[in-house]
């Protein structure tokens, strides 16, 4: 029976993993920043030894994309240096490692879905620190380890676009939402289930990179429109351009991920984004 440490357990993906883990024959340990400092190697080694961990799912991340522009050291400590430390320990102790990364490692200028082999060129501090974390993991190269890049994550847990739209849709008559950023949402529960499903089948000598999001393609505007439609909220969604909504960090204009590799290697079926949104809204009690 795998003994699994899940870091970032109070985040969206970590919370979904907690919810679903009861359906699997795994012994799971959930750690957040208050129970395990993943920037401290001694703390990590002690935790792994105490709980006899043989698998790590690293969901911990600094994800405040705009704040990262001014909190560079903190973002680097969590997204890069902590990943390097976890990877070094995983290799030394022969521990399986699943690390979660992001579409922000790309520049967002592509014209077709990004594959795992496409060159990275992050455009901000968040993307750069996540990319550095990937590079550290690839360089140390522990066996039985993978990186999963994902995009536009939402969940019934935590703060995210879906919950923000529901709140604002109840408060406002109209909203402006960006239409010139294109990608695919990821329901964190779908990703969590995929991770738990494929975990026993991760057996590779070198680190493998995978992409995962729900199926389909849309803009944030399309996403907001569908949220309002499913929740039957009267709020009007108006399309706006990125230049009309400036942010400290640059967002990718195009972040569609090619998921052929993960589907091929593990034989998984990825749900369509509207079906997953429907499930999330039902879990929130907002599907009308």
Write out the catalytic residue numbers: 126
Whole-angstrom Cα distance, residue 14 to residue 17?
A: 5
Q: Report residue 218: phi and psi, to 5°.
A: -165, 170
CA 63 from centre of chain: 9
Closest Cα partner for 185 from 100, 112, 64, 103?
Answer: 103
234 burial via Cβ count (<10 Å: 0-12, 13-18, 19+): exposed
List the beta strands (DSSP E) in the chain. Answer: 3-7, 27-31, 55-58, 96-102, 145-150, 153-154, 174-178, 182-183, 186-187, 208-211, 218-219, 236-240
Count Cβ atoms below 10 Å from residue 285 Cβ, excluding itself. 8
DSSP structure string for 230-287? HHT--PEEEEE-GGGS--SSPPPSB--B--HHHHHHH---PPBHHHHHHHHHHHHT--
């Amino acid at each position: 029976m795998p003994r699994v440490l899940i870091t970032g357990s109070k985040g969206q993906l970590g919370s979904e993993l907690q919810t679903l883990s009861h359906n699997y024959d795994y012994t799971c340990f959930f750690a957040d920043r208050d129970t395990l400092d993943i920037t401290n190697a001694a703390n990590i080694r002690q935790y792994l030894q105490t709980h006899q961990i043989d698998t790590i799912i690293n969901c911990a991340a600094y994800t405040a994309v705009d704040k990262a522009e001014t909190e560079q050291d903190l973002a680097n400590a969590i997204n890069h240096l902590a990943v390097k430390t976890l990877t070094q320990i995983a290799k030394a102790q022969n521990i399986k490692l699943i690390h979660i990364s992001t579409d922000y490692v790309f520049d967002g200028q592509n014209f077709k879905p990004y594959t795992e082999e496409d060159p990275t060129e992050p455009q901000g501090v968040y993307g750069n620190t996540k990319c550095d974390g990937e590079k550290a993991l690839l360089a140390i190269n522990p066996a039985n380890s993978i990186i999963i890049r994902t995009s536009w994550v939402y969940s019934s847990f935590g703060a995210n676009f879906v919950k923000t739209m529901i709140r604002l849709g109840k408060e406002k008559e109209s909203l402006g939402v960006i239409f010139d950023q294109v990608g695919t949402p990821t329901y964190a529960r779908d990703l969590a289930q995929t991770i738990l499903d494929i975990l026993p089948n991760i057996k590779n000598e070198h680190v493998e990179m995978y992409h995962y999001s729900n199926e389909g393609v849309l803009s944030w505007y399309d996403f907001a429109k569908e949220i309002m439609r499913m929740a039957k909220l009267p709020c009007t969604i108006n399309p706006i351009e990125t230049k009309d909504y400036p942010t400290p960090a640059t967002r990718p204009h195009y972040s569609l991920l090619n998921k052929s590799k993960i589907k091929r290697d593990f034989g998984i079926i990825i749900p369509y984004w509207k079906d997953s949104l429907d499930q999330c809204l039902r879990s929130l009690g907002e599907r009308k």
